[in-house]
Amino acid sequence: MGVLQFFSFVGSSSPSKSIAAPILLSDPEKLPNPSDSVGPQQRVLLLHGPKQRYVEVTDHPTPSISSNRELLVRNIAIGLNPIDWKAPDFNFGIPELPYISGRELVGEVAICSRRKSRFNPGDKVIVISTDYRDLRKAAYQQYVVATDFNAARLPLNITPEAGSALGVAFVAAALCLGICAGVDFTSVANGPDLFSMVRKLQATRLPADIKTECLEGIDEVSRAKKGDWIAVWGGSSTSAFMLNQLARLVGLKTIVAIDHRKHALKIASTVPAAQPDIVVDSHDPQRAIEIVRSATEKRLRFAADTVGKDTATHLLDCLQQRNALDDEPLSTTTQGDLLSSHLIGLSGLPKASPPSNVAFHNVPIKLFHEIPEVGESLMLWLERLLGQGLLVPPTVLGVQEGFGSINHALDSMRRGEVSGGRLVVRVS
């Protein structure tokens, strides 16, 4: 998988909010209307049905701001995701038709809400839309509605093209580590301690379908800490690229399984900050499992899969810390208590129930757009990481021009011609 597939996350849905029926505020003071500064119609790519191509239209309604934390953003560059072609091809993740796709972009703030905001018109921002049911927030249109807590100011050292290609993967990686593995990011550019943050919230604020993951997925004593290993299968994906960097920033050791034939040279030429501690060839899965178990001295407790159920099963084998012939001790606390192991599926988990000593996790992506404190803490941290050069954006493999080029670019992704980086489309 090149980047995150939303159908694999817990809680990736929310009540549908279409462009034609925005949420209205009870406050009689009128919010800014797009027609005050931009035209009432815009260019959009629409999907009219499964297995169809996107169709460009020029007279689609411009979306309206409908809450006091929303911005209207003029689109500049769109990062393309595998979900953009997989959803129509396999008919999933399409809550209504016609549908507007696109999960991440860089744009220029056109209109701010009447709430005092840290953004101003003219600011260039990274917009990350995990709320795929709200078509106003989709990237395949000229003007996009963004909540201010799901947007980050684009640092001067990052191009719009690079900024448009990292958002979803960053959010998923941060939630994967911060919630599912319990990592504390406060030592790195004053990042968030997501584990503690969600436990301080009123439980009723957490959506029901992610509450267990957020509050019970991992306990305090089992949290990942500096020096622990984490294995990642599918290391060429953008999500794995971000996972590896964030893990190493907090002192975790990373061992990544990739197809050496396709990706070894690319990883070898990556800047040191983005390189894993150990790279394993995944061509022979059983051999890769043996290497992972040996390299981590059979003490591996954390694993994240970015490919699918089969490779997640390989990681489950990696987490089995000894077999019947081994005498070596399992990972324990200083009191001798057995520490649990954790398998995080970003694109699926093994079909079978987990063994008694392993917990399965789905990334609660909904936290990002449902809980403003979580979204804003991640966006402010992203600004610092990029601005200080601590986080390297994924490689932009190609830049194409205009909505008309998106179908062609997605065809390249369908054929497996895009790997180890991202395609970007400039909106013209």
- Shared domain for 307 and 344, answered yes or no, is yes
Mean predicted confidence (pLDDT) in 216-245: 94
- Shared domain for 280 and 304, answered yes or no, is yes
More confident residue, 148 or 273: 148
Q: Domain for residue 18, yes or no?
A: no
**What is the overall mean pLDDT for the chain?**
87
So what's the pLDDT on residue 428?
Answer: 75
Question: Does residue 236 surpass a pLDDT of 80?
Answer: no
- Shared domain for 152 and 178, answered yes or no, is no
Q: Domain for residue 347, yes or no?
A: yes
pLDDT in tens, 160-181: 999 999 999 999 999 999 999 9
- Shared domain for 180 and 118, answered yes or no, is no
Query: Distance between CA atoms of 357 and 380, rounded to whole angstroms?
Result: 36
Q: Domain for residue 153, yes or no?
A: yes
- Domain ranges, residue 408: 41-165+393-426
So what's the pLDDT on residue 269?
Answer: 59
| Span of 26-30, 266-270, 275-279, 369-373 with lowest mean pLDDT | 26-30
pLDDT in tens, 327-356: 444 555 444 456 899 999 999 999 989 998
- Shared domain for 187 and 277, answered yes or no, is yes
Mean predicted confidence (pLDDT) in 233-242: 89
- Shared domain for 54 and 72, answered yes or no, is yes
- Shared domain for 267 and 349, answered yes or no, is yes
- Shared domain for 175 and 152, answered yes or no, is no
pLDDT in tens, 34-58: 445 789 999 999 999 999 999 999 9
Around Cβ 257, how many Cβ atoms within 10 Å?
A: 31
- Is the overall model pTM greater than 0.85, yes or no? yes
Domain count, the chain: 2
| Span of 14-18, 49-53, 115-119, 402-406 with lowest mean pLDDT | 14-18
- Shared domain for 144 and 161, answered yes or no, is yes
- Shared domain for 198 and 278, answered yes or no, is yes
Q: Domain for residue 214, yes or no?
A: yes
Q: Domain for residue 24, yes or no?
A: no
Question: Does residue 317 surpass a pLDDT of 90?
Answer: yes
CATH of the domain at 152: 3.90.180.10
Q: Domain for residue 328, yes or no?
A: no
Q: Domain for residue 131, yes or no?
A: yes
Q: Domain for residue 32, yes or no?
A: no
- Shared domain for 343 and 247, answered yes or no, is yes
Mean predicted confidence (pLDDT) in 85-112: 95
So what's the pLDDT on residue 327?
Answer: 46
So what's the pLDDT on residue 200?
Answer: 97
Q: Which residues contact 416 (CB under 8 A, 6 or more apart)?
A: none
CATH of the domain at 354: 3.40.50.720
- Shared domain for 130 and 201, answered yes or no, is no
So what's the pLDDT on residue 396?
Answer: 94
